[in-house]
Amino acid sequence: MTKQESVNFVINKLYELYPEIPIPLDHKDPYTLLIAVLMSAQSTDVRVNQITPLLFEQADNPYDMVKLTVDDIREIIKPVGLSPMKSKGIHGLSQILIDEHNGEVPQSFEALEALPAVGHKTASVVMSQAFGIPAFPVDTHIHRLMYRWNLSSGKNVTQTEKDAKRLFPKELWNDLHLQIIWYGREYSPARGWNLDKDIITKTIGRKSVIQDYYKSKKS
């Protein structure tokens, strides 16, 4: 199978499996999505979705958020981990949104990435999911699967993002990055992986990955 045939197979299979694509993090507007994505770093979407209602009950916009202290925010979000850094980021970016953006989340990568605690991946998620602007945020699932599917070298997430953007049509990026995440969770996890259920990797996967899988099953 050529690289283009592999790409087409991935696209067709993902749309077959996930014609309707749920967004993993619960939110109601760009601001609450931005906060939820920031909180999700080195945490799980399930845990974040348990905690965001508690935070948003107190403050679901930057004006109310800055009325809370950093310590107030930290106490609420402690269960998601890294709460000292995340609480400072949430408070700090909320103040900047008020001071520099009329309390609105900006619709540009440059402005988003200038906010405290907001990196390229967080900005990409917000641009894609809040504003519908084509982006390809790479998380651990996408990084793992692009390597397993022999569509990227797996050197780093920057390279994986470049490869994904080069191989997949731009108008599909916003769907595909979510579909790959759902597929990775359901069929191709990092551990406890069943290749027989992982039809994409079984069909187009990197030979060394498939060989290693069968070796591990024999040992």
Distances from the Cα of 39 to the Cαs of 65, 79, 100, 176, in angstroms?
14, 10, 22, 23
Considering the candidates 3, 29, 45, 139, report the single residue annotated as catalytic.
Answer: 139
Question: Is 162 annotated in the active site?
Answer: no
Q: Which candidate in 45, 86, 121, 163 is catalytic?
A: 121
Furthest C-alpha separation in the chain: 61
The question of whether 60 is a catalytic residue gets the answer: no
**Of 103, 50, 53, 59, the residue nearest 79 (C-alpha):** 50
Angle at 182 between CA 179 and CA 188, to 5 degrees: 110
Active site members: 121, 139
